[in-house]
Amino acid sequence: MPLVGARIVVLVSGTGTLLQALIDAAASPSAPFTICGVISDRADALGLARAESAGVPTRVVATSGDRGAWDANLARELAGFAPDWLVCAGFMRILGPQVLAAYPHRIINSHPALLPSFPGAHGVRDALAYGVRVSGCTIHLVDEGVDTGPILAQQAVEVAPDDDVDSLHERIKVVERRLLVDIVSDLARWGCTVTDRRVSIP
């Protein structure tokens, strides 16, 4: 993969299909970004294998009981990649103050519900349990809260009467992958400005 455009580090905890969509997009000669590293909190994350197959360097920064030490370790590993942007793609940890301070308005998260409804680790399950007829996904900037940062983009997905958590999540992820690639591409090309909670990509 040629190292051109904005430098992106992707953080993953799981299967990494969102990461795969970014890897595939970055392989295009016209891609405005390159994935310079993938970091996981879990050594067994399938996303790491996807990165290795694509020739992207990986690191594991496992959590210990000490959140401050984990935050510092993650900040150090990230700095080694000198990224322009971080993308949390199925990363199931709350980032700490050192990492947040190092990349102000430069950390993107993808969430499988229409925020501010249903934040947290079980957005799909919680939306389904509430009985919503429409859910979807949200791409947003990360702040110190849990899924509370300024919103970059959202897309709706209808809930089918026979949906369970897995079927709804799979349909959301189809939309989520495309939206994430589009937004990361736009940010890599144009950057963004944030006024209060309003984000604009010029």
- As annotated, the active-site residues are 111
- Can you read off the two tokens belonging to residue 68? 């401050």
Binding-site size for ligand GRF (CB under 6 A) equals: 13
Q: Does 155 bind ligand GRF (CB under 6 A)?
A: no
CA-CA distance, 40 to 1, in Å (whole number)? 21
Q: Which is nearer to ligand GRF, 24 or 66 (CB)?
A: 24
CA-CA distance, 93 to 89, in Å (whole number)? 11
Span between the terminal Cα atoms of the chain, in Å:
28
- In angstroms, give the least distance from the CB of 3 to ligand GRF: 23
Radius of gyration of the chain (CA): 16
- Residue 166 C-alpha from the chain's centroid: 19
CA angle 11, 23, 180 (to 5 degrees): 65
- Candidate residues 15, 98, 148, 155; the one interacting with ligand GRF per rule CB under 6 A: 15
Q: Which residue has the tokens 């429409």?
A: 134
Stretch that binds ligand GRF, among 8-16, 31-39, 70-78, 139-147 (CB under 6 A): 8-16
- In angstroms, give the least distance from the CB of 45 to ligand GRF: 8
Q: Which is nearer to ligand GRF, 69 or 129 (CB)?
A: 129
Q: CB count, 10 Å around CB of 52?
A: 12
- Candidate residues 17, 40, 58, 185; the one interacting with ligand GRF per rule CB under 6 A: 17
Q: Which residue has the tokens 């949906």?
A: 163
- In angstroms, give the least distance from the CB of 87 to ligand GRF: 11
Q: Which is nearer to ligand GRF, 16 or 149 (CB)?
A: 16
Residues 73-92 that bind ligand GRF (CB under 6 A): 89-90
Q: Does 149 bind ligand GRF (CB under 6 A)?
A: no
CA-CA distance, 180 to 187, in Å (whole number)? 10
Q: Does 110 bind ligand GRF (CB under 6 A)?
A: yes
Q: Is 129 exposed, middle or buried (0-12, 13-18, 19+ CB in 10 A)?
A: exposed
- Candidate residues 32, 37, 83, 112; the one interacting with ligand GRF per rule CB under 6 A: 112
Position with the least CB separation from ligand GRF = 90
Q: Which residue has the tokens 């990361």?
A: 184
Summarize as ranges the residues that interact with ligand GRF (CB under 6 A).
14-19, 89-90, 110-112, 173, 176
